[in-house]
């Protein structure tokens, strides 16, 4: 009995306790000041890449959002790179260019859809800016995002910056409520990682990279054009930061099935990202941000197996000592129940992702979830995004 309880406590701490300690540690780090050369007069020429595939329903909103951004128009190049859309996406972009001829918007077309990273790499050679910025068609920027984010790139040690995602529909369903809690917590952790040295997580909504160091998107072929691209910057001893003032907006699906589709796809990518970091650490090619990388390797690659061990130990304890079940009375508390459900779900998703990677399965194309219908003109006007 004592040995079984001891093992249960060990597995519990490795499944939940370590994650809690990391969160508290990153929360404390997030409060520290930036030690950087931030220049708010820094206004380099920029190239904004917008990859599209069948985005006819929202591409006009996206372009209206971009031209509303507060930045010198003669220093801004916008490239819409389309992966052989089967709808009216490209025609809508051309009509928008005719309506706003003063904007520097270019259209690049691929003959086939080969995935988002392939589209971005195709467009990279056409970029004229010192800074290359990626933004998905379903993500929208406040007008001050560039003036808030780009000054951090004035420091020579900073190679890339991103911003926190904010949900447009945080209270639409219990699914979006839980996702909002997760997003806010994750943003805080990424800020803490940035203050220590670098965050290893970037989002497709806003990621800005120094062109001189951007050889290609996702150079290690992880399937993650955002976080996968950051790997090379950290390998070059450059910092990759989340800037809290550089937030962007996006909607999230309201059904559990759609949420699982997004989470499993993202987990598949992140497992590959951290497997790549593990290889680079082993080969001694990563010289900085090691603590941040190691804690994420543990959470994404090892903690899911500790969670399975915890479940097995729990079954053994309940079968031999039914009174042990009283510990689950804590689930009566609604908030605790939701947190446990979310963490349990995420561990199972990670296990699915780990085994899919082991089997060599990789998602190359980005499937659009049913969140596009949530991006209405009224919602975007309400948030002053168009």
For residue 367, being part of any structural domain is answered with no
pLDDT at residue 364 tops 60 = no
For residue 210, the cross-strand partners are 131
Give pLDDT tens digits for 116-137: 999 999 999 999 999 999 999 9
For residue 130, being part of any structural domain is answered with yes
**Tokens representing 27?**
């929360």
Q: What is the DSSP track for 326-343?
A: GGGGGGGSHHHHHHHHHH
- Which pLDDT score, from 0 to 100, does residue 368 have? 56
What's the CATH number where 51 sits?
A: 3.90.550.10
Please report which confidence band the pLDDT of residue 2 belongs to, taking 50, 70 and 90 as the band edges: confident
Please report which confidence band the pLDDT of residue 114 belongs to, taking 50, 70 and 90 as the band edges: confident
For residue 161, being part of any structural domain is answered with yes
For residue 104, being part of any structural domain is answered with yes
Domain region containing 166: 34-254
Q: Residue 20, Cα to own-chain centre: how many angstroms?
A: 21
Strand boundaries in 75-168, DSSP class E: 76-82, 105-109, 131-134, 158-162, 165-167
For residue 82, being part of any structural domain is answered with yes
pLDDT at residue 347 tops 90 = yes
Give the C-alpha separation, 312 to 175, whole Å.
28
For residue 137, being part of any structural domain is answered with yes
Give the C-alpha separation, 117 to 114, whole Å.
8
Total of domains in the chain: 1
Please report which confidence band the pLDDT of residue 22 belongs to, taking 50, 70 and 90 as the band edges: very high
CA 258-262-264 angle, 5° bins: 115
Give the C-alpha separation, 208 to 141, whole Å.
13
Exposure on the CB side of residue 251, measured as CA atoms within 13 A: 23
For residue 153, being part of any structural domain is answered with yes
What SS3 class is residue 314? helix
For residue 26, being part of any structural domain is answered with no
Contacts of 327 (CB under 8 A, 6+ apart): none
Question: Which CA distances in Å does 245 have to 35, 159, 161, 166, 291?
Answer: 16, 18, 11, 11, 25
**pLDDT averaged over every residue in the chain:** 92
CB atoms within 10 A of CB 336: 11
- Return the DSSP state at 31: T
The four Cα atoms 34, 40, 45, 51 give a dihedral, to 10 degrees, of 50
pLDDT at residue 366 tops 50 = no
């Amino acid at each position: 009995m004592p040995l079984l309880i001891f093992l249960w406590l060990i597995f519990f701490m490795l499944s939940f306790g370590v994650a809690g300690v990391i969160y508290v540690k990153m929360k404390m780090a997030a409060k520290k000041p930036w030690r950087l050369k931030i220049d708010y007069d820094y206004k380099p020429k920029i190239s904004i890449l917008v990859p599209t595939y069948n985005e006819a329903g929202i591409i006009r909103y996206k372009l209206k959002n971009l031209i509303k951004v507060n930045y010198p128009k003669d220093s801004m190049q916008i490239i819409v790179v389309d992966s052989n859309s089967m709808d009216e996406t490209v025609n809508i972009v051309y009509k928008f260019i005719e309506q706003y001829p003063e904007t520097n918007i270019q259209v690049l077309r691929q003959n086939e859809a080969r995935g988002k990273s392939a589209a971005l790499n195709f467009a990279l050679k056409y970029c004229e800016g010192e800074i290359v910025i990626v933004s998905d068609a379903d993500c929208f920027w406040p007008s001050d995002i560039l003036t808030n984010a780009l000054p951090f790139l004035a420091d020579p040690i900073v190679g890339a910056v991103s911003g926190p995602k904010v949900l447009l529909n945080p209270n639409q369903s219990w699914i979006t409520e839980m996702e909002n809690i997760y997003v806010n917590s994750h943003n805080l952790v990424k800020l803490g990682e940035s203050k220590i040295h670098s965050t290893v997580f970037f989002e497709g909504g806003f990621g800005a990279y120094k062109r001189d160091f951007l050889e290609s998107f996702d150079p290690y072929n992880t399937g993650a054009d955002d976080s996968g691209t950051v790997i090379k910057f950290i390998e070059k001893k450059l910092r990759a930061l989340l800037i809290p003032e550089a937030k962007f907006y996006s909607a999230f699906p309201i059904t559990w099935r759609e949420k699982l589709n997004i989470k499993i796809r993202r987990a598949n990518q992140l497992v590959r990202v951290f497997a790549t970091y593990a290889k680079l650490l082993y080969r001694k090619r990563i010289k900085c941000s090691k603590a941040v990388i190691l804690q994420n390797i543990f959470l994404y690659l090892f903690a899911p197996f500790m969670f399975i061990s915890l479940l097995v130990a729990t079954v053994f304890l309940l079968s031999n000592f039914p009174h042990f079940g009283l510990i689950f009375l804590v689930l009566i508390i609604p908030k605790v129940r939701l947190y446990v459900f979310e963490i349990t779900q995420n561990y199972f998703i990670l296990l699915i992702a780990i085994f899919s990677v082991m089997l060599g399965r990789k998602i190359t194309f980005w499937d659009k979830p049913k969140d596009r219908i949530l991006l209405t003109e009224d919602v975007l006007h309400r948030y002053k995004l168009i």
